[in-house]
Chains A and B, each alone.
Chain A
Amino acid sequence: MEGIYAFCVGLMTACGIFLTLRGRTFSVVVGLTLLSYAVNLFLFASGRLKLDAAAVLGVSEDYGDPLPQALVLTAIVIGFAMTAFAVILAMRARADLGNDHVDGRIPQTKEEVRQKSGGQR
């Protein structure tokens, strides 16, 4: 169980980091969302993975750690609010700046640069 779990969290983090490093705001927002999902799963696992272990007293013989669950709940709420804010900000930037690039302008490709310098000559 631990192996699959760790692999999934790792994969999700890797995808999140990859998408966050992209140039368009949409993929950046998706990347941040994936990162926050991965972090929630990771926090949940920090209380160790156990089967049949309730976090409530008197329900089972083996207890799970309740604190990571409380932490995850807080992290989910905060992550949710932040994602909503990032989406609105991305839309506002699209309206204000006229494009959806994170730098507010679309970088020139090599060919465009070459064409421009060729034209000047």
Chain B
Amino acid sequence: MQHLSILPILLPLFTGALLLLPPFSKTLKRQRILSIISALLQVLVGFALVLSVQADGITQYILGNWRPPFGIVLVTDPMSSIMVAVTNFLAFSALCYATGSHDKAGGYFYPLFMFQVMGINGAFLTGDVFNLFVFFEVLLIASYALLVHGGGKQKTQATIHYVVLNLAGSSVFLFGLGILYGTLGTLNIADMAQKVSELDGSVAILAKIGALMLLAVFGLKSAMLPLHFWLPKTYSSASAPVAAIFAVMTKVGIYSILRIHGVVFGDEAGELANIAQSWIWPLALLTITIGTIGALASPSLKLLTANLVVLSAGTLLVCTAIQSEAATSAALYYMIHSTLVAGGMFLLADMISRQRGKAEDRFVVAKKMDNPVFLGIFFAIAAIAVIGMPPFSGFIGKVMVLQSVQSAAEQIWVWPILLLSSLGALIALSRAGTTLFWRHSSGKQTEATQPIHLGEWLGVVLLLSASPLLALFAGPLSELANDAAAFLHDPRLSVEALLTSPLAEGGF
């Protein structure tokens, strides 16, 4: 189907708009039904996209039939289609969870959520850098509103930091774009990759400044070391379904680094080849370190999970720094795993915090939970997956990352830090688990807790069952990831095919 590649953007856009109109705008129940149906459709579209790319290869959707490199294009290649499928699956699970009680906290939850999904899908699919900026802004403005959704002092304060940082980041993004357009004369990613090798002298230095400014912006989004300070507070103060969908937002930054600094400024970029890698190397390793220290020092489960997101961002950044096919493939597998498991962890943290009365998710002695068995099993699955112990997907992901480090000089740095970070996560999570589940006050339960809604169970089960499934189907999945990585690293496939292919009859 030729219009398949624009559906991940149009479907949430129209659902979001429809939710604001009369038959749906006043009744929460109708909003829930429409959103869940739409999210389910989006999941199907996501998987259909992956299958169609596997069957027919890369497709290019040319909006308005303006020939690239001038018009707006959406590029569906293995990498972007996989990320869209993961995002939509995560969004569906988070929406299931939100039907429990979180959507009542304030108005317009579902429309905002739909616009958020639209922004993330668009950022994955877009084929030029300016639209990457536009979709970044779409996902950001929805995330600002979602973050403050429900109100409260803590949320307002976290939102101010988040909004100011990201607005400043958007300005830097535009400065970088301006420089790159001024030097390269194009913003189409495939076209940029071709033209960048022709630069030399002072123009090349200008382009390098632009590229590194973009690295700073993507670093801000993906929580690279000096720019990660916003993340723990933001993620831990957001409501559970919002925090779950935020788990994919750091991955948008890493995906953009892979796309811009891995492909455009990659091995073939002549004078500007691999300019970002020397910066990413130390920063990535330090990000892992700081994430581990943060995890060990976290006083509550939500903060712990947020710091584990920083840790996984660092691991993924190491993969982007290695800049080889194996590393990109490992990054993709690990990205799928860490997005889904982190989302599941955030939902689980909310469930646990609701059953512990005033202690919430802090690591203190509190009253016994109502469903300690199920929550305990889920927590154990999530913890084992995050730490990277067999038999779940974290183990396979980490082994792939470790194997992709080729030279001995790199192994000396990466292996100890990565393995010690796993040990740190093991200590932090086992301490968290023992306090949360085994140490409770003997007094009688006084306050009644809100029972867990069916949709909420479904959301958590969906996300956490992804980890065993990812491990079970690791063979075909890693082949898929290898395909995507091979495609990304072969300029013949990823660049020339896009610019010279006969025009598809796309657009409206």
Complex contact B168–A20 (CB within 8 A): yes
Query: Which residues of the partner chain A approach B171 to less than 8 Å between Cβ atoms?
Result: 16, 32, 35-36, 38-39
Query: Which residues of the partner chain B approach A43 to less than 8 Å between Cβ atoms?
Result: 174, 177-178, 181
From residue 178 to 201 of chain B, which have CB atoms closer than 8 A to chain A? 178-179, 181-182, 187
User: Within the complex, which residue of B153, B160, B174, B182 is in contact with A102, where a contact is CB–CB below 8 Å?
Assistant: B160
Query: Which residues of the partner chain B approach A86 to less than 8 Å between Cβ atoms?
Result: 163-164, 167
Query: Which residues of the partner chain A approach B230 to less than 8 Å between Cβ atoms?
Result: none
Complex contact A96–B177 (CB within 8 A): no
Query: Which residues of the partner chain A approach B224 to less than 8 Å between Cβ atoms?
Result: none
User: Within the complex, which residue of B137, B177, B182, B187 is in contact with A82, where a contact is CB–CB below 8 Å?
Assistant: B137
User: Within the complex, which residue of A36, A38, A47, A89 is in contact with B160, where a contact is CB–CB below 8 Å?
Assistant: A89
Complex contact B168–A89 (CB within 8 A): no
User: In the assembly, what is the distance between CA of A98 and CA of B181, in Å?
Assistant: 44
User: In the assembly, what is the distance between CA of A36 and CA of B175, in Å?
Assistant: 10
Chain B contributes a number of interface residues (CB within 8 A of A) equal to 28
Query: Which residues of the partner chain B approach A106 to less than 8 Å between Cβ atoms?
Result: none
Complex contact A67–B181 (CB within 8 A): yes
Give B154's nearest chain A residue, CB to CB.
A104
A93 at the interface (CB under 8 A from B): yes
Give B130's nearest chain A residue, CB to CB.
A71
In whole Å, how far is A89's beta carbon from the nearest beta carbon of chain B? 6
User: In this complex, which of B151, B152, B157, B167 has the most chain A Cβ atoms within 10 angstroms of its Cβ?
Assistant: B167
Q: Mark A71-95, 1 if CB is under 8 A from B, else 0.
A: 1001100100110011001101100
Known: A36-B171, A39-B178, A46-B181. A93 touches B141 (CB 8 A): no
Known: A46-B181, A75-B174, A82-B137. A89 touches B153 (CB 8 A): no
Complex contact B156–A97 (CB within 8 A): yes
Complex contact A42–B178 (CB within 8 A): yes
Complex contact B164–A28 (CB within 8 A): yes
Complex contact B163–A85 (CB within 8 A): yes
A-B CB contacts (within 8 Å), total count: 86
A103 at the interface (CB under 8 A from B): yes
User: In the assembly, what is the distance between CA of A52 and CA of B160, in Å?
Assistant: 44
Complex contact A93–B161 (CB within 8 A): no
User: Within the complex, which residue of B152, B159, B179, B187 is in contact with A89, where a contact is CB–CB below 8 Å?
Assistant: B159
User: In the assembly, what is the distance between CA of A102 and CA of B158, in Å?
Assistant: 10
In whole Å, how far is A56's beta carbon from the nearest beta carbon of chain B? 16
Complex contact A32–B168 (CB within 8 A): yes
In whole Å, how far is A58's beta carbon from the nearest beta carbon of chain B? 19
Give A71's nearest chain B residue, CB to CB.
B130
Give A92's nearest chain B residue, CB to CB.
B156
User: Within the complex, which residue of B160, B168, B182 is in contact with A25, where a contact is CB–CB below 8 Å?
Assistant: B160
Query: Which residues of the partner chain A approach B478 to less than 8 Å between Cβ atoms?
Result: none
B452 at the interface (CB under 8 A from A): no
Complex contact A71–B175 (CB within 8 A): no
Query: Which residues of the partner chain B approach A39 to less than 8 Å between Cβ atoms?
Result: 171, 174-175, 178
Query: Which residues of the partner chain B approach A20 to less than 8 Å between Cβ atoms?
Result: 164, 168
Query: Which residues of the partner chain A approach B161 to less than 8 Å between Cβ atoms?
Result: 102
Q: Mark A10-26, 1 if CB is under 8 A from B, else 0.
A: 00000010001000010
Query: Which residues of the partner chain A approach B167 to less than 8 Å between Cβ atoms?
Result: 32, 35-36, 82, 86
Give B165's nearest chain A residue, CB to CB.
A20
Query: Which residues of the partner chain B approach A102 to less than 8 Å between Cβ atoms?
Result: 160-161, 164
User: In the assembly, what is the distance between CA of A82 and CA of B140, in Å?
Assistant: 10
B465 at the interface (CB under 8 A from A): no
Query: Which residues of the partner chain B approach A75 to less than 8 Å between Cβ atoms?
Result: 174
B170 at the interface (CB under 8 A from A): yes
Known: A35-B171, A85-B163. A78 touches B157 (CB 8 A): no
User: In the assembly, what is the distance between CA of A45 and CA of B206, in Å?
Assistant: 14
Q: Mark B4-21, 1 if CB is under 8 A from A, else 0.
A: 000000000000000000
User: In the assembly, what is the distance between CA of A28 and CA of B157, in Å?
Assistant: 14
Complex contact A90–B137 (CB within 8 A): no
Give A36's nearest chain B residue, CB to CB.
B171
Known: A71-B130, A78-B134, A85-B163. A97 touches B141 (CB 8 A): no
Complex contact A68–B181 (CB within 8 A): yes
B148 at the interface (CB under 8 A from A): yes
Q: Mark B113-156, 1 if CB is under 8 A from A, else 0.
A: 00000000000000000100010010001001000100111001
In whole Å, how far is A96's beta carbon from the nearest beta carbon of chain B? 5
Q: Mark A26-67, 1 if CB is under 8 A from B, else 0.
A: 001000100110110011011110000000000000000001
15 CB contacts below 8 A, A to B, read A35-B167, A42-B175, A43-B177, A43-B181, A46-B181, A67-B187, A68-B178, A78-B137, A78-B170, A82-B167, A85-B163, A89-B148, A93-B160, A97-B156, A104-B156
Beyond A43-B178, A89-B160, list 15 extra A-B contacts (CB 8 Å).
A16-B171, A32-B167, A35-B167, A36-B171, A39-B171, A42-B175, A45-B178, A46-B178, A46-B179, A47-B181, A71-B130, A82-B167, A85-B141, A92-B148, A93-B157
Partner-B contacts on A (CB < 8 A): 16, 20, 25, 28, 32, 35-36, 38-39, 42-43, 45-48, 67-68, 71, 74-75, 78, 81-82, 85-86, 89-90, 92-93, 96-97, 102-104
